[in-house]
Amino acid sequence: MIQTDNLQKNAYRFYSGDFATDTGQTEVSYGLPSPFVEVDLDDLVREAQYAVATRPSTIDAHPKQVHRVVHLDRNKANPAVAGFPNLQRVTWSETKGVTLPKEIAALPTLRVLGISGNQYKALPRSLRHATRLSGLLLTGLTRLRSLSGLEQLIALEHLQMYNLVKLNDFSQILELPRLRAVSVVSMNLRQMCPVLAQLEVLERLDLSSSATFDVDYLTALLQAHPGLEELGLKNALLEHEPPPNLPSLRVLSLSGARRLPSDFLTGMPSLEVLDLSWPGPELPASLGSLARLQSLDIGMGKYTAKTDFSVLTQLTRLRDLHFMTHLERLPEAVGAIESLRHLQIGVCHELRDVSALRSHPNLEVLDLGGFSDSEQLIDVAMTLPKLEYLRVKQRTDITRLADHPSLKVILGQHLESDDMAALFDVHRRAHYPRRL
């Protein structure tokens, strides 16, 4: 029997293998919410199995199952972390002081630590006890002026810095022998880029909302690390940038990037995941050169009926497509992507015609958020031989879908059907061998 969902808020989540994960930023995640999973340490911490604030009794009853604790606060009652023998991830908030309890830093199982607070001018001295730490997130330390002590974290592999506006000396980063991933969010790159360019190996780099400054330094940084595998340039200004030569790059985020040159993607033959949710009116011509691309988000853009989407048909390995549109007719090019498995259009209230999808041979997931013509949607769905997941609008009569040969899950609110009314646990699918 087909299962139906009666969720009152959002519908479902699916995971496209390596390239997508629920980051906690949105209730429903499709495609590419954040490809920088390992770098975005705060999001990792938010994936708490047991949240201190909401389920303290569960924590006390199952201490060995606690691996992550969210937002320990100096000014609030906190659980005794020593009582959790498998605790690996902690965020510590200090709003009035500049300390980090030694019992947290010295936890033998601690691997990821987040520190936030606006009073720190230097890293807490107790941080030297966290010698096994592999990930460190420094967020909102707006008075921090020195990274002295960072060099003692000899096992550190991932470093994220957010809004450290007073920090000018980053030289301690060069003393971290295992550092492979760096995230620099909302910071000026003038002092940072020359230091990062000196790192011997850098595999993952996220410059979200930072690459709008000092683009010359950005160019030099990318030239220094042609072996990058993952890169985030959210909100970057790329008008004067030459196409970077990044032959090993697999994941790229250009969300919000401005003035993207049409040839920007030509030097990225290994790219598999691309977030291209930018405000441009056209898709860059170099998109068609990405022979290995599997997951693509083209966002809202300023697409019109005259926009040429034919470049999408050149992506012969594309499995996952996410975008939003004000178009009235779904482009024929979308229906012509034979490799496509997952299609999610987040906003499409003006969409009137989706006939381009009729008889698509491989489509498995179809989610047209806001599409109002239920009858047309069901007509199209009945022609899709491999469809498994379908979202419909409120109060849709889904009786006809009972005869679909492969449909497993129907998602919507207040579905009208006598024989399909059971609630179900949302399916989480994995199409690739590992998650980032």
> Residue 266 belongs to a domain with what CATH number?
3.80.10.10
* Closest to 103 in 3D by CA, of 122, 78, 135, 120: 78
- The SS3 of residue 122 is strand
pLDDT number for residue 235? 84
**pLDDT reported for residue 397:** 82
Domain boundary among 313, 339, 358: 313
pLDDT at 386: 95
In a domain, 169, yes or no: no
User: Of residues 222 and 429, which shows the higher confidence score?
Assistant: 222
Per the CB < 8 A criterion, the answer to whether 401 and 378 are in contact is: yes
pLDDT at 337: 97
Spell out the alpha helix ranges (H) of 152-245: 192-196, 215-224
424 and 369 in a common domain: yes
- Domain of residue 112 covers 48-164+174-179
Other CB atoms within 10 Å distance of the CB of residue 35 = 30
Output the pLDDT for position 146: 92
- SS3 at position 297: strand
- pLDDT surpasses 50 at 423: no
Structural domain count, the chain: 3
Pick from 13-17, 41-45, 94-98, 131-135: least confident: 13-17
Instruction: Give the percent of the chain with pLDDT over 70.
Output: 73
Residue 224 has pLDDT above 90, yes or no: yes
Q: Is 43 a member of any domain?
A: no
**Comparing 393 with 69, which gets the higher pLDDT?**
393
> Would you say 216 and 237 are in contact if contact means Cβ atoms under 8 Å apart?
no
More confident residue, 62 or 109: 109
Non-local (6+) Cβ contacts of 142 within 8 A are 118, 163, 164, 165, 166
What's the confidence (pLDDT) of residue 161?
94
The secondary structure of residue 241, as a DSSP letter, is P
Contact 5/122 with Cβ under 8 angstroms?
no
Together in a domain, 206 and 149: no
Q: In the predicted model, is pLDDT for residue 76 greater than 60?
A: no
Structure confidence by residue, pLDDT tens digits, 156-192: 999 999 989 889 899 999 999 999 999 998 887 888 8
**Residues 6+ positions from 126 with CB-CB distance below 8 Å:** 99, 100, 101, 102, 104, 105, 106
Least confident of 24-33, 279-288, 298-307, 345-354: 24-33
The mean pLDDT value of the chain amounts to 77
**Strand boundaries in 186-341, DSSP class E:** 204-206, 230-232, 251-253, 273-275, 295-299, 320-323
Where among 123, 149, 179 does a domain terminate?
A: 179
Say yes or no to pLDDT of 77 above 80: no
244 and 214 co-located in one domain: yes
Residue 428 has pLDDT above 80, yes or no: no
Is pLDDT at 396 greater than 90 in this prediction? no
- Domain edge (last residue) among 179, 204, 224: 179
Do the beta carbons of residue 360 and residue 384 sit within 8 Å?
Answer: yes
Residue 232 has pLDDT above 50, yes or no: yes
**One-letter amino acid identity for 296?**
L
Give the bridge partners for 73, in sequence order: 93
pLDDT at position 47 is 34
189 within a domain of the structure (yes/no) = yes
SS3 353: strand
Identify whether 42 is part of a domain: no
Predicted local confidence at residue 36, as pLDDT? 27
In angstroms, the CA 306 to CA 161 distance is: 42
Please state, as a whole number, how many other Cβ atoms lie within 10 Å of the Cβ of residue 163: 18
Residue 75 confidence class, pLDDT cut points 50, 70, 90 = low
**Mean of the pLDDT values across residues 251-259?**
86
